[in-house]
Amino acid sequence: MALLQIAEPGQAQAPHQHKLAIGIDLGTTHSLVASIQSGLPRVMPDEQGRVLLPSVVHYGDDGRVTVGEAAKQMASQDPLNTLVSVKRFMGRGAEALQQLGDQLPYELVQQANGITSFHTAAGDKTPVEVSADILRQLRLRAEAALGGDIAGAVITVPAYFDEAQRQATKDAATIAGLNVLRLLNEPTAAAVAYGLDQAHEGVHAIYDLGGGTFDISILRLHQGVFEVLATGGNSALGGDDFDLVLAKWIMAQAGITSPDAEVQRRLLQTARRVKEALSERDSVQLSLAAGTGGAPADWQATLTRAEFESLITPLVDETLKACRRALRDAGLKSEDLAEVVLVGGSTRVPLVRQRVAEFFGKPALTHLDPDQVVAIGAAVQANILVGNKPDSDVLLLDVIPLSLGLETYGGLVEKIVPRNTTIPVTRAQEFTTFKDGQTAMSVHVLQGERELAADCRSLARFELRGIPPMVAGAARIKVLFQIDADGLLSVSAEETSSGVRAEVEVKPAWGLSDDEILRLLRESQARAADDVRTRLLVEARADAESLCEAISAALAQDAALLTSAEKAALDEEVASLRQAMAGEDAAAIKAATARVNTASDDFAAKRMDASIQKAFTGKHLDQLED
């Protein structure tokens, strides 16, 4: 008799069978790939022994694509065809892309489908395609090091990436031939790496400042569970901005007024080298020859670390503001934290380490390489998800960065999933129709913290049609929000009595800019009182309008039940209510609504009596009992 071998889901049938899984840190400045080898996470180097792959892609006129260090060397000679910091462009709208493009020497092209791309010698390239070329290079590196095909990958993203930016990252991985096991927030990946290394329980702050993005996450580590309590940050703030500020300072000091693309690229490269040097030294000598970018004369200067720190202090302050918000969202104070972890190459800047230690009141952990810690954490999680370690007791609980909800009558927002809700999550809420005989409903999905739809970001719209005609308020429409472990959202709506259903997978055409993110959070706080007043006014008007329509319908059918004096009195109260609705006083509208309700009580009673009398007329007692 043949024996059937049984294995648990996700577990290899043969004990010795090991699936190859990788963790990828797709960074703004550098990217890298790691895997679990012989039970330990290792970052995989290239043939020259370099673990960091510059996130730079060059497109030649012969169609050749060069990625990494070789492409980086071409940046100053061929800046228009050498794309750097493309992560900043992922999932961004045309306006935001144009603003970024103004800072970098690129030629942007608006395509017919609304997607913005870079014009290169090899054709127009979208940010997704450029990222795919970087990810493909990392996949090839991993396959060469591991000696086989990759079963799956965990790719890290900034915690503050929205749905569009996450979806763009996932699309890039698919193009690169990778099976994405999960998109993992970068601070959470760092917590995995430090959690396994330290095994310290308690509340931790993960301060992640990379080349192009900043994240702050407050996590609780307890018995193998990594729970994100709050998150914040800026998806367009990082070490690149330090470089840009320094490059502008050099231009101002040297009298450069009209740099071409090549000079811009050289200035940014110089600024990066100066920044890195000042992390080790107290001063750096700078010089430019006359004519460089229009410089009127030879220029020499000495830049001290103190002067550099004064230039970047406003940027560092922005990161600390986000830290303060995250602590407030988590309901914690800095003294409640067990440890602070620094992640990202830009945390090597001494001012950053100093200010973070002062803000949190304790020195930060830096003993793991800040460039490698995210990839290491991703590799650990990939090894678990691919089934090599099915008995792992590590559980990751991430959160969404901004609230998700629907537009309701009057342009109000009904929040279905509040910000900082742990994912994956499923939330449902019932809604109903506003008008009699309504057979369709428009579902408008929103993201943000404000009370009015106009002040939040529109993610998607779809329609639920085929609702059975009923009186207002009788239909029951169940709206379901589902957010997966990658932070991607799908929304469905169903009329429960008929089973009519519609759904949408939210894939907005672009993501939030840094200004939009800050606006959504800051305005929700600064204008909270105004928003509440506005919401109360809109709700009062909606209730009043519903009452007026109901009375109008009732009068059209049963006005004969009232004397002329009673009808005149009711009409007067309704007119008074409509006059109040035209004003801005919610309390006055509510008071007028209450008066109309009181004035219509007798009318409602007469209608009920008439309805009962009509139902009973001509029937015997035994018929009523049946």
Task: Residue 421: give its domain's CATH number.
Answer: 2.60.34.10
Q: Do residues 145 and 90 share a domain?
A: yes
Same domain, yes or no: 74 and 152? yes
Which of 48-57, 234-243, 384-393 has the highest average model confidence (pLDDT)? Answer: 48-57
Q: What is the CATH number of the domain that holds 47?
A: 3.30.420.40
Which of 522, 544, 560 is where one domain is finished? 522
Q: What is the pLDDT of residue 618?
A: 55
Percent of the chain whose pLDDT exceeds 70 = 81
pLDDT at 519: 46
Lowest mean pLDDT among 37-46, 221-230, 411-420, 454-463: 221-230
pLDDT bin (cut points 50, 70, 90) of residue 521 is: very low
Band the pLDDT of 486: cuts 50, 70, 90. Answer: low
Q: In total, how many domains does the chain have?
A: 4
Which residue out of 46, 72, 78, 87 is catalytically annotated? 87
Where is 555: in which H helix or E strand?
helix 528-558
Q: Which of 208, 241, 398, 455 is catalytic?
A: 208
Of the two residues 540 and 514, the one the predictor is more confident about is 540
Residues 512, 578 share a domain: no
In this prediction the pTM is 0.60
612 versus 76: the higher-pLDDT residue is 76
What pLDDT digit, counting tens, does each position of 349-402 carry?
A: 999 999 999 999 998 888 778 889 899 999 988 988 887 765 555 555 566 777
Asked whether residue 252 falls in the same domain as residue 128, the answer is no
pLDDT for 356 equals 95
Residues 158, 162, 167, 173, Cα dihedral to 10°: -10
Pairwise CA distance, residues 605 & 599, whole Å: 11
Top pLDDT among 149 and 505 is at: 149
Q: How far apart are CA 241 and CA 352, in angstroms?
A: 14
395-399 and 225-234 strand pairing: parallel
* Domain assignment of residue 374, given as a range: 21-238+313-398
Position 295 scores a pLDDT of 65
Contact 209, 346 (CB under 8 A): yes
**CATH number assigned to the domain comprising residue 283:** 3.90.640.10
Q: Flag whether pLDDT at 288 surpasses 50.
A: yes
Mean pLDDT of 533-557: 81
Which band of pLDDT confidence, cut at 50, 70 and 90, is reported for residue 317? very high
618 DSSP 8-state letter = T
Predicted confidence at residue 307, as pLDDT, reads 93
Nearest-angstrom CA–CA distance, 246 and 310: 11
Mean pLDDT across the stretch 251-280? 84
Look at residue 498 in the predicted model and tell me its pLDDT: 82
Residues 32 and 135 in one domain: yes
Query: Letter for the amino acid at 496?
Result: T
Residue 186 annotated in active site: yes
pLDDT surpasses 80 at 463: yes
Q: Which of 162, 171, 186, 486 is catalytic?
A: 186
Please, is 40 exposed, middle or buried when counting C-beta atoms within 10 Å of its C-beta (0-12, 13-18, 19+)? exposed
Q: Which of 255-264, 395-404, 477-486 has the lowest mean pLDDT?
A: 395-404
Is residue 25 annotated as part of the catalytic site, yes or no?
Answer: yes
Q: Average the pLDDT over 259-279 and give the result.
A: 84
Alpha carbon 544 to chain centroid, angstroms? 37
Q: Is residue 15 part of a domain?
A: no
Q: In what order do the strands lie in the sheet with 425-431?
A: 425-431, 477-483, 489-495, 501-505
Instruction: Mark whether 131 and 228 lie in a shared domain.
Output: yes
Radius of gyration of the chain (CA): 31
Active site residue 102: no
Q: Which of 118-127, 133-142, 154-163, 454-463 has the highest mean pLDDT?
A: 133-142
Residues 580, 454 share a domain: no
379 with 366, same domain?
Answer: yes
Please enumerate in sequence order all residues whose Cβ is within 8 A of that of 58, keeping only pairs 6 or more positions apart, or say none.
Answer: 65, 66, 67, 70, 71, 74, 75, 78, 81, 82, 83
Confidence band for 229, pLDDT divided at 50, 70 and 90: confident
Least confident of 109-113, 171-175, 374-378: 109-113
**Banded pLDDT at 122 (limits 50, 70, 90):** confident
> Does residue 514 have an active-site annotation?
no
The confidence band for 13, taking pLDDT boundaries of 50, 70 and 90, is very low
**Between residues 500 and 3, which one has the greater pLDDT?**
500
Lowest mean pLDDT among 51-65, 159-173, 296-310, 392-406: 392-406
Q: Quickly state the pLDDT bin for 508 (edges 50, 70, 90).
A: very low
